[in-house]
Structure 1
Amino acid sequence: MPDVAYYASLPRTRGAAAALLLDDLGRVLLVKPTYKEGWFLPGGVIEQGESPLAACVRECEEELGFVPRLDGLACVDWGPPREGVDAVNVFVFGGSVTPDEIAGIRLPADELSEHVLVAPEKIPELAAPHIARRMEPSLRGIAEGRAVYLEDGREPGFGPAWEPVR
C-alpha cells in the first residue's frame, strides 16, 4: 500500500499540452486568446488525472471545434517559474490540418478571437519569446520523427559541461 501522506507531501508540477498543426504548405496554425497578449498553439492546461495527449485532444476540440490528426510527441519543454507562475512541463504534439478543417474552425468567442496560418519564420513576430523559442526545435522534432527535450525553449547541450536551467 502506498504511503499516501508521503506522496501528498511531494511537490507538484503544472502541465500543459499543445498541438503544433501544419497545413500542406508547412504553415503553423496559431490562435489568439482574448485574455492575454500574443498568439499561441491550440492547447491548454492538463487537468487533474488527465494525460498530456488527452488534454491536447480535449483542448483542440474545445478551441477549434474538431480533433486534428496528431502524429506523435514533438517536444517536451520545461518552463521555469516566471512572473508569479509555477514551473510547467509543456507537451507539444505534432500533427496536420486540412483545408476543410481550417475552413470549419469554430473558435469559442469567450476564449479565442482569431486564428491564423503562418510560415514558421513569422512566429517570433506574433508569439511571446518563450513560445516562439520552442517552435524551431519542435518543427525539427517533427521532421526527424523524434521528440525534442527543451528547457525554457532551448536544447540543453548534454555532456560533461551541461548545466540545467535554474
Structure 2
Amino acid sequence: MKKVVLALSTVCLIAFTSCKEDAAQKIDDSKVAAAADRDAASSVYPVLTFNKSEHDFGEIIAKTPVETVFKYTNTGEAPLVITDIKSTCGCTVPQDWSREPLAPGEEGQFTVKFNGSGTNKVSKAITVTANTEKGREVVKITAFVKPDPNAPAQATPLSPVIK
C-alpha cells in the first residue's frame, strides 16, 4: 500500500512540475484589450423612458372604444429595439410601434385601444418587451366603466316556487 501511495505522489509531482513554460507568456495583450472592450460594451443598455406610465380614461360608457398614445424616449447609451408589446387581455390592443432600432435620444410611440369592456374600475397592464436591462417595461390604462343607459335591461331569473 505504501508503494502505491508513493507511486501516485511521484506521478502527481511530475505532472505538476513538468510544465516549464510560463502561462503568462501565452496571453495575447490585443485579445485581452478586445475582450475588455466587448465586456464594457455589453454592460451598456438602452433605457426606455415613457412620457406617462399610466393613462386614466376617466368614466366611460360600457362598450365605448377609446384609445391613447404612449410616447417613449431612448435615454440610454445603446440602440433600443422593441420586440413586442402585449396587454393582459384581448380588450386592450397595443399597435403602431416601430420595430426598427431607436438610437439614443430618439423618440417613438405606440397606440393602445381599449374597447370599454368590464364594469366599474378597470385596470389593464401593457408589457413592452425590449432590449433594456430589465427586458420588460410596463405601462397601465385605467377606466371607470359605467353601464350603458340605453342598453335593454336584462331579466333576472326567477327562483322556482316550491309548494
Q: Which TM-score bucket, shorter chain as reference? A: under 0.3
Structure number having the greater helix percentage? 1
Q: TM-score, normalised by structure 1?
A: 0.25
Bigger RCO (CA 8 Å, 6+ sep): 1
Q: TM-score, normalised by structure 2?
A: 0.26
